[in-house]
Amino acid sequence: MTQNEKPNLVKWGLKYAVSAAMTGILCCVAPAVLFMFGLMSGVYAISFADFFYQKDGSTGTGAWILRILALCIGIYGIYSFQKKQNQCTIDPKRKQKNLILLSFTIVILGIGLYLGLEKWSAWYFDAHIVPAQQKELNLN
């Protein structure tokens, strides 16, 4: 990107929204994907996910750390866009509008993707990983 070239709002927003969402839901998606490709057993996938949750199923410290890290990624995306945008010769009102649009893009897409992946991983755990764990532990 040259000094006077403005950053692409859509690409920037997608990059940081997806990064933040994937970071925030890593605790559930990683074991599901590893199980899906046969790289992890059902027992290990559940024990991996259990690291991020309390015994009663509520959110644990590990999951909160990932969510805070996801928030930091989103904030950094907005900050770095603003910094890059300030290098360009853009009208100040347009800069402010772009920053607001980027903020909404990152928040809406990030939360939407996070919630979608959370729903998918919960379904996948219930439909595939839990039955595999029960079979491995002979709990049927």
Token readout for 113 is 């993707």
- CA–CA distance, 33 with 26 (Å, rounded to integer): 10
- CA–CA distance, 108 with 13 (Å, rounded to integer): 10
In a domain, 66, yes or no: yes
φ, ψ for residue 44 (rounded to 5)?
-70, -35
Number of domains in the chain: 1
In a domain, 1, yes or no: no
pTM above 0.75, yes or no: yes
Please state which of the ranges 63-67, 73-77, 112-116, 135-139 shows the lowest mean pLDDT: 135-139
- DSSP summary character for residue 5: P
How many other CB atoms are there within 10 angstroms of residue 9's CB atom?
A: 16
The reported pLDDT for the residue numbered 90 is 73
Where in the sequence is the domain holding 48, given as residue range(s)? Answer: 13-135
Q: What does the pLDDT look like over 102-129, one tens digit per residue?
A: 999 999 999 999 999 999 999 999 999 9
In a domain, 18, yes or no: yes
